[in-house]
Amino acid sequence: MSRRTFTLADAGREFWRHPSPWLIAGTLVVAACARVAVGDWQVTDLFVPLTMVAVFPFVEWVVHVGILHWRPRRIGRVRIDPLLARKHREHHVDPRQVALIFIPWQALLWILPVAVGAAALVFPRPAMGLTFLVCLTVLGLAYEWCHYLIHSDYKPTTAAYRAVWRNHRQHHFKNEHYWFTVTSAGTADRVLGTYPDPATVPTSPTAKNLHSTTTAR
């Protein structure tokens, strides 16, 4: 389907054909129902979403740099090369392969339980922990949708989305050492020094072959 005929409705139908959005959305529904059932609404609950929205671009940046762009290493005979890093290298090789755009569902099988555990153990009140879990899954679903949409044939129609679209596509097609945020442009990258003027950045020969590896396995 050409870019000219690919609509948001088309994007939505493709998006929900993949398991990761369903896993995140299912967790969101359960967490939201539990949050309503528990009640205990307090003003301090407002700090959770406000803080999470503020730090999310920086979390994206750290995860992208430290985990997704992890360089395979050997310690003795053990090769350390996590699934998330392997799949991300494959994603750079072929940014249009839809299945590789999403967070690997196998990783979500442990990421989501860890998030539930953090919600239960880290916060002073169960209600606040559930608020955290609701916000986390909303942000996760927004990340998946935004990342998918950028790599789809949907054409940007607003200035805000065009900036986000351009930011991430420069990471894939210009230079993989910059522009690490996905759901925003000029936020964490600007603060952390990875938001240069594209005109001053050379096109990287390894943007589609991270770390000059010859295989993504």
- Quick check: is 192 in a domain? no
- Tally of domains in the chain: 1
- Quick check: is 208 in a domain? no
- Quick check: is 209 in a domain? no
- Does the structure show a pLDDT above 90 at 91? yes
Domain range spanning residue 92?
Answer: 3-156
pTM to 2 decimal places: 0.92
Q: What is the pLDDT of residues 166-195, one digit of tens each?
A: 999 999 999 999 999 999 998 999 999 999
- Quick check: is 40 in a domain? yes
Provide the pLDDT for residue 4.
59
- Quick check: is 177 in a domain? no
- Quick check: is 175 in a domain? no
CA distance 42 to 61: 31
- Quick check: is 24 in a domain? yes
Q: What is the pLDDT of residues 128-148, one digit of tens each?
A: 999 999 999 999 999 999 999
- Quick check: is 173 in a domain? no
